[in-house]
Chains A and B, each alone.
Chain A
């Protein structure tokens, strides 16, 4: 069965801290790994990772994929209260299917 597992389920940090979120996957016909940020509404796209070992960066966020070990990490440096959200990873497989993990709830305290 296709599976995407995120850890930790939740964490609380203070502004300025760095957080690392983990995502492991087991899917057939894997294509890419995607990260989304979900606040109170719809998930918004952060990154799509297709190649192993190539870091993608966007401001204070970065992510990397390891296709051999079947995992990805999302890093957030110098966290701000606006980073508080649920972070979802999803494995894209069979050309179109996205299987989501349960998410990591990040709370950043001022």
Chain B
């Protein structure tokens, strides 16, 4: 299995631009998570999908952030408009609820200038 695949690996964008991050979870996993990691706040859960349905989006910082999971093999996290404080590493993770741990993707390092 190729693991959780995220793209792009790095993204540099100007403030105000739209940014879309992509994730392909591990086949057969029924849960998908988007996390954000910063030096100040560590790893924070943004949103959780179970069977493609958003279950918990309480961690989404504000309306500028949105996430979709149109099918079991693809999810996007969109920021529109982006701001410098959104600069962080964004991780996607997937799991099969009831089994051990989450598997994280390699992350997308976002820099908003």
Contacts and interface: CB of A to CB of B under 8 A. Distances in A.
Contacts of B4: 42
B103 A95 contact: no
Contacts of B97: 95-96
Given A96-B50, A96-B55, A97-B48, A42 B106 contact: yes
Q: Please report whether the interface of chain B is mostly helix, strand, loop or mixed according to DSSP.
A: strand
Given A41-B106, A41-B107, A48 B45 contact: no
Contact of B48 (A48, A96, A99, A102): A96
A45 B101 contact: yes
Given A88-B43, A100-B42, A102-B42, A43 B48 contact: no
For chain B, give the interface size range.
Answer: 20 to 34
A88 B4 CA distance: 19
Given A42-B106, A96-B55, A103 B42 contact: yes
Interface of B: 4, 31, 33, 42-43, 45, 48, 50, 55-56, 91, 97, 100-107
Interface of A: 34, 36, 41-45, 48, 88, 90, 95-103
Given A42-B91, A45-B100, A96-B55, 7 more contacts: A42-B104, A43-B43, A43-B91, A45-B103, A99-B45, A102-B42, A103-B42
16 contacts: A34-B100, A41-B107, A42-B91, A42-B107, A43-B43, A44-B104, A45-B100, A45-B101, A45-B102, A48-B101, A88-B43, A97-B48, A98-B102, A100-B42, A101-B42, A102-B42
